[in-house]
Structure 1
Amino acid sequence: MPTDAPVRSRRFHLQRDDDVTGISGTGRVAEGCLWPDGSANVQWNGEHRSNVFWPSIVSVEAVHGHGGATRIVWDD
């Protein structure tokens, strides 16, 4: 288990301040969960919902953060 993995799952959401792609809009665009093994999943909101699984929260931020335009906000 990675050393940065939580003991329990943690909920988060993606808060998009600037929609650089013009697809998702702004605001709370996705819900997510960081799992105890360090993997994460993201469920996208909107008309075309989807679930994506990632090996780590670092990967989520690297792909969807858009240089700070989208933030990971911890709900738990």
Structure 2
Amino acid sequence: MRTFELHRDTDVSGISGTGVVAEGVEFSDGTAVVRWVVGEHQSTVVWPSLASVEAIHGHGGATRVVMTP
């Protein structure tokens, strides 16, 4: 199990702002869970993989997955 944060450099959607916008966990089977920590409608979402998270929320490099110690 590894933990990570989503660091948003540019807010492409105009909703979540910049900086650390979400926290997450990648489980040993590759499943990723993301907890949005900013915005009016915070949520928790389960994804099949970290690659899926990056594909949807990466916005072409505007948001980065940063692994945490």
TM-score interval (norm. to shorter):
over 0.9
Q: How many residues matched?
A: 68
> Which structure has the highest strand share of the two?
2
Match of 1:22 in 2: 14
What letter matches 2:66 in structure 1? V
TM-score (norm 2): 0.95
1:6 corresponding residue in structure 2: none
Matched, 1:54 2:47: yes
Could you tell me how far 1:71 is from its partner in structure 2? 0.1
- Structure 2 runs not aligned, ≥5 long: none
Letter in 1 for 2:62: A
Can you give the 5+ residue segments of structure 1 that lack an aligned partner in the other structure? 1-8
CA radius of gyration, larger in: 1
**Deviation, structure 1 residue 42:** 0.2
The Cα of 1:49 is off from its aligned counterpart by 1.2
Q: Percent identity between the aligned chains?
A: 62
In structure 2, C-alpha distance between the alignment counterparts of 1:34 and 1:24, rounded to whole Å: 22
Q: Under a length normalisation based on structure 1, what TM-score does the superposition of the two structures give? A: 0.86
